Structure 1
Amino acid sequence: MPPYRHGHRRCRPPRPDLVGPWALRDLHYARYLRYAAALLPAADACTAIDEAFDELTETWSHVLAAPSPAACAWQVVRRCVRTLAGPLKPVAHLAEPQQDVLVLHLVLDLPETEVAELTGTDLAAVQMHLRSVRAARPQPTTTT
């Protein structure tokens, strides 16, 4: 029988395996869906996110063991979206993390801190990717 204190049962935190990936989904779902919808038709965007969370549910113990569960989840979300979307031709020359930052920050207008949280990366890494994306932009030529 659980111990009681002042007539009440002590509260224990829920077991992580009972929470599963759904807490992460609830936390980031709207932003994951916005990302998917920026690259896919609406029905495909929902499908991609659902597939990602089906996969995350099956591998949740491995996700929790990763150094950054958010980064692991982002990799699955990105892969599921990109599988349906295909390559991002206008930015195919950029590395995937740069493409992520470009879409999340410059297209969806998420603050840098939210991009870092969503992708499970450091804020400094997000800022570095933004600088490199901006530096890689073709500069307009001037005619004299």
Structure 2
Amino acid sequence: MPPTWHGNRPCRPTRPERVGPWALRDLHYDRYLRYASLLLPVADACTAIKQAFDDIAARWPTILATPSPAACAWQAVRRRVRSMAGPLPPVAHLSEPEQDVLVLHLVLDLPEAEVAELTGTDTAAVHMHLCSVRATPRP
């Protein structure tokens, strides 16, 4: 059963066995939407998040068995948004984690701890990527 939508924030399905992925989406929805809206029109950003979580819901038991379901969710959202937005030439020389940190921390102004929580990594890794981004010469 697909989720229903009320305004910009989707409602989770009522079937209890599918609450897990929707709870994860609800936890980070505003941040996912800010990220997606930076790269896409708002309607497309909402669509990208919905499609990413439809994919996640279909694979939820496998994702739940991973060390970080939040990391899997972030990667699915990022992959869907980036496939719709296309490449980001100004940061194409950076690795994906560095691009994530750059956009989430330096552009969207999320604290390092929130970036870590959202991307399913730890704060030390976020800090390391920030140092790397700052040390990388610009093309």
TM normalised by structure 2 equals 0.85
The residue identity in structure 1 corresponding to 2:129 is H
**Percent identity among equivalent residues?**
75
Q: Which residue of 1 aligns with 2:4?
A: none
- State how many pairs are aligned: 124
What are the superposed Cα offsets for residues 69-123 of structure 1, whole Å, 9 maximum, x if unpaired?
0001111011000000111110000000000000000000000000000000010
Q: 1:22 to 1:130 in 2, by over 3 A?
A: same
Q: Which residue of 2 aligns with 1:48?
A: 48
Cα distance in 2, alignment partners of residues 134 and 45 from structure 1:
28
Q: Which residue of 2 aligns with 1:85?
A: 85
> Which of these two proteins has the greater Rg computed from alpha carbons?
1
Unaligned stretches of 5+ residues in structure 2: 1-15
Compute the displacement of 1:43 (Å): 1.2
The residue identity in structure 2 corresponding to 1:60 is W
Q: Which residue of 2 aligns with 1:112?
A: 112
1:59 aligns with 2:59: yes
List, as ranges, runs of 4+ consecutive aligned residues in structure 1 with deviation greater than 3 Å. Answer: none
Q: Which residue of 2 aligns with 1:7?
A: none
Cα distance in 2, alignment partners of residues 67 and 88 from structure 1:
29
Cα distance in 1, alignment partners of residues 30 and 118 from structure 2:
11
The residue identity in structure 2 corresponding to 1:35 is Y
CA RMSD of aligned residues (A): 1.5
Q: Which residue of 2 aligns with 1:125?
A: 125
TM normalised by structure 1 equals 0.82
